[in-house]
Amino acid sequence: MDNTVNDLSAYRFGTRILDLSRPQVMGIVNVTPDSFSDGGTLYEARKLSVDQALERARQMVKDGATIIDVGGESTRPGAAVVSVQEELDRVLPVVERLNAELDVVISVDTSAPEVISGVAGLGAGLINDVRALGREGALEAAAATGLPVCVMHMQGSPATMQDAPHYDDVLDDVSYFLQQRIRACNDAGIASDRIILDPGFGFGKTVEHNLRLLNNMRQLHRFGMPLLVGTSRKSMIDHVLHRPVDQRLAGTLATVAIGVQQGGQIFRVHDVRETVDVVRMTEAILNEGRIDND
C-alpha cells in the first residue's frame, strides 16, 4: 500500500469536481424521522418536506459546505428497520431537487443496492455506506454507477455495534477491515481512486477506541485514499464532556481540529458554518498563514 495520499486536487464526484488536497465540509441532511441528533426536523405532520430539506441544504452550501449527505435510514442503535421502498421514497425526491437547484456534490448515505442505483441517475456524486457495501448486491450496484464510494468500518451491525465492542488493537483491526473492503471493491470493478475511507467513529467502538483512532488517524493514509471524518455530536463527546446532543458543538469542533491536523479530507457535520471556520483556522495554523482563503 502507498504511504502517502494520491493527488486529490481534482477529485471527481460524478459531474462535479472538488479539491480534496484541502479539507472539505459535508453537511448532513437526514430525511429520517428518527436519527439520533436531528431526526424528524424535516417533517411536517409526519410527512417529509422536500422544500425544508432543500432550504436546509441551501443554507449549508451558503455556510461553506461543498458536499451534502442525504440519508434516509437511521443507523443509531435501536433504530427502526426501514424498507427499501420507504428509503427510496424519502431519498429520491430530495436528491433530484438538490441536484436541480444547488451546485454542490450530493452524497447519499445508503446500504441498499436499489437506492444506490436509483440516486445515480438523479445526480448523486458519492455513495456513502456505513456497511461498507457489505449487503448483497451493493458492491455490484455501486460499481455500475461509476461513482466514488465511501466505505466505513463498523464492528457488528447498528443494532449490536455498541454491545461491548472489543479489539486486539483498534488501529490494526480497523486498518485490516478497510484493506479487505478495498480489495472487495477492486474485485467488483471499483478502482482505488474511487474509494474514500471512513474509520467509523461511534460505530462499534468505546470512547477510548474513538479517541485512539482520531489521534492516530494519519496512519490510515497508508492506503493512499481520502479520509472521511464523522464525529459530529456523537456520544464520544458526551462521555468526555457530559453534554446532551444539542450541546456538543464545542466538543465536535475540537475533534474536527484534530482531524484536520491528522490529515482528514472530508468532515461530515451538522453545524457547517462553525466547522468551516475551524477547518480554515486550523489550516492557517498548520501552514503558518500560507493559505488561500477562497
205 is catalytic: no
Closest CA to 225 of 278, 274, 185, 253: 185
Cell of residue 158, nine digits: 447498528
234 is catalytic: yes
Measured between alpha carbons, how far is 39 from 276 in angstroms, rounded to an integer?
Answer: 23
In 3-state terms, what secondary structure has residue 197?
A: strand
Residues pairing with 43 in the sheet: 48
Closest CA to 108 of 231, 186, 117: 117
Please state whether beta strands 16-18 and 11-13 pair in parallel, antiparallel, or not at all (unpaired). antiparallel
As to burial, measured by CB atoms within 10 angstroms (0-12 exposed, 13-18 middle, 19+ buried), residue 292 is exposed
Among 194, 234, 248, 280, the one annotated catalytic: 234
Among 56, 181, 268, 280, the one annotated catalytic: 268
Q: What are phi and psi for residue 43, nearest 5 degrees?
A: -110, 140
**Is the distance from CB of 258 to CB of 215 less than 8 angstroms?**
yes
- The full length of the chain comes to 294
In 3-state terms, what secondary structure has residue 155?
A: coil
β-sheet with 266-269: strand ranges across: 195-198, 149-152, 126-129, 105-109, 67-71, 24-30, 266-269, 228-229
Catalytic annotation, residues:
234, 268
